[in-house]
């Protein structure tokens, strides 16, 4: 399930002078409230990708939920992401970026935004009590090994995952929270699964896994019956 490479956004890069990138006098663009602006002009690509993905999910919440409900990193999901985000230039209020984004990073950003909007600061600690048997008997049952890895990682330390996806990308807080998840990585990797793990991918897998579990939390009621 290789991520589909998606080229997004970049209109024209300025070679010299801001005037080369400015729209014609009198034109107006309906930019999204969370659009990337010049004030967010940061050379760290992962921060820009995260901001863009969250803008898309904020602009099209029902679409984002439908995308996240598809089989994780399937060709169908990747194609659906590619089709939609290619037309989301209004999530850019600047012409300073020429980005290539993979499906995993975009899905992670979608999940982060939808968790924030749908579940807020909900207590996620109870997800640690969900057993393999309960998970696989529910609608949240992993359909792929990558799905399995994502949900396993969340169940190991759901509170750390919740804090991780609320932290700023490429921040010291993010680094510390990822370190707290490192001991669980090898134990959650299914046999034969070969995935690239770095700060950005651990954050994305964590976000998608938490979104799936929260979306089906009612299925795990027996696991939480004795907890407050």
Beta strands in the chain (DSSP E): 5-8, 99-102
Which residues form the domain of 94?
Answer: 1-120
What average pLDDT does this structure show over 191-197? Answer: 80
Bridge partners (DSSP) of residue 6 are 101
pLDDT attached to residue 43: 55
Q: State whether residue 92 is helix, strand or coil.
A: strand
pLDDT tier for residue 223 given thresholds of 50, 70 and 90: very low
Nearest CA among 81, 117, 197 for reference residue 150 = 197
Joined together, the tokens standing for residue 189 give 């990797």
2 shares its domain with 80: yes
Give the rounded percent of residues in the chain with a pLDDT score beyond 70. 72
Examine the pLDDT at 191 and tell me if it is beyond 90. no
Q: Which of 1-10, 25-34, 80-89, 108-117 has the highest mean pLDDT?
A: 108-117
Which among 70, 85, 120 is the end of a domain?
120
182 shares its domain with 111: no
Which among 120, 148, 165 is the end of a domain?
120
Bridge partners (DSSP) of residue 99 are 8
Joined together, the tokens standing for residue 152 give 């396993």
Q: State whether residue 20 is helix, strand or coil.
A: helix
On average, the pLDDT of the chain sits at 78
83 shares its domain with 136: no
Kindly write down the DSSP assignment for every residue of 145-175, as one continuous string. HHHHHHHHHHHH-HHHHHHHHHSPTTSHHHH
4 shares its domain with 84: yes
pLDDT tier for residue 21 given thresholds of 50, 70 and 90: very low
127 shares its domain with 109: no
Which among 58, 85, 120 is the end of a domain?
120
Q: pLDDT by residue (tens digit) across 62-109? A: 999 999 999 999 999 999 998 888 766 777 755 555 566 789 999 999
pTM of the model: 0.78
Residue that has been written with the tokens 């407050």 in this structure = 228
Bridge partners (DSSP) of residue 8 are 99
Q: State whether residue 7 is helix, strand or coil.
A: strand
pLDDT attached to residue 33: 52
What average pLDDT does this structure show over 186-215? Answer: 91
64 shares its domain with 128: no
Residues 58/90, Cβ–Cβ less than 8 Å? no
Residues 143/88, Cβ–Cβ less than 8 Å? no
Q: pLDDT by residue (tens digit) across 140-169? A: 899 989 999 999 999 999 999 999 999 999
132 shares its domain with 58: no
Q: In this predicted structure, which of 25-29, 98-102, 172-176 has the lowest mean pLDDT?
A: 25-29
Under DSSP, the state recorded for 40 is G
Strands 5-8 and 99-102: antiparallel
Residues 210/216, Cβ–Cβ less than 8 Å? no
């Amino acid at each position: 399930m290789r991520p589909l490479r998606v080229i997004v956004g970049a209109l024209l890069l300025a070679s010299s002078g801001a005037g080369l990138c400015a729209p014609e006098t009198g034109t107006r663009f309906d930019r999204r409230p969370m659009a990337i602006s010049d004030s967010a002009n940061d050379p760290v690509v992962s921060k820009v990708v995260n901001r863009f993905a969250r803008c898309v999910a904020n602009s099209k919440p029902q679409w984002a939920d439908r995308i996240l409900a598809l089989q994780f990193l399937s060709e169908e999901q990747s194609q659906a992401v590619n089709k939609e985000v290619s037309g989301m230039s209004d999530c850019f209020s600047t012409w300073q970026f020429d980005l290539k984004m993979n499906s995993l990073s975009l899905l992670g950003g979608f999940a982060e935004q939808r968790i924030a909007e749908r579940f807020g600061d909900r207590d996620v600690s109870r997800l640690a009590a969900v057993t393999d048997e309960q998970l696989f008997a529910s609608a949240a049952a992993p359909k792929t090994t990558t799905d399995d890895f994502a949900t396993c990682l969340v169940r190991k330390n759901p509170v750390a995952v919740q804090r991780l996806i609320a932290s700023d990308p490429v921040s010291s807080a993010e680094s510390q929270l990822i370190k707290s998840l490192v001991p669980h990585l090898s134990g959650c990797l299914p046999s034969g699964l070969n995935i690239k793990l770095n700060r950005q991918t651990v954050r994305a897998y964590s976000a998608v896994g938490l979104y799936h579990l929260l979306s089906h939390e009612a299925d795990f009621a027996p696991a939480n019956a004795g907890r407050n």
